[in-house]
Amino acid sequence: MSKGTAMAALGEKRIAIIEDDGALALQLRETLEEAGADVVYEARDLPGAMAAAALDQLDAAIVDVKLFGASSYPAALMLRRNGVSVVLASAEPPSSVPAPLAGSPFVRKPYAPWTIVAAVRVAAGGA
């Protein structure tokens, strides 16, 4: 997928950002909104990430796999069980993803903004 294609509108997909780095979360918000997404929730820690799973009508969530050193996989699993598409982001290798989440799009940090948009499009069925 090219940069231009990836940055095409996300069709107002409702997205949650789960990221402990405030500067990166802000960059993600700006990138996703520029691509047409509606960022409806942000969390910086595991309790906030777990709360995201209770939200109605989320299309996708970008989940940093480590939130201040704690694994966010429990939140990612809960999101998936509730029908939310999950994009995992980490500096760790994709081989570290547990089997129940192995099919989720994975973006290795650091990443270019358009790669995360492309991953959201794939996860939310807009590819």
What are the residue boundaries of the structural domains of the chain, listed by start?
3-123
- Checking if the pLDDT of 1 tops 60, the result is no
Q: Is the dihedral of CA 26, 91, 61, 78 positive or negative?
A: negative
pLDDT value for 126:
60
CATH architecture of the domain 3-123 equals: 3-Layer(aba) Sandwich (3.40)
Choose the weakest-confidence range: 35-39, 40-44, 99-103, 123-127: 123-127
| 38: amino acid identity, one letter | D
Choose the weakest-confidence range: 7-21, 35-49, 53-67: 7-21
59 within 8 A of 84, measured Cβ to Cβ: yes
Nearest in space to 63 (alpha carbons), one of 6, 116, 2, 127? 116
Give pLDDT tens digits for 50-95. Answer: 999 888 889 999 999 999 999 999 999 999 999 999 999 999 999 9
- Distance CA(35)–CA(50), nearest Å, equals 26
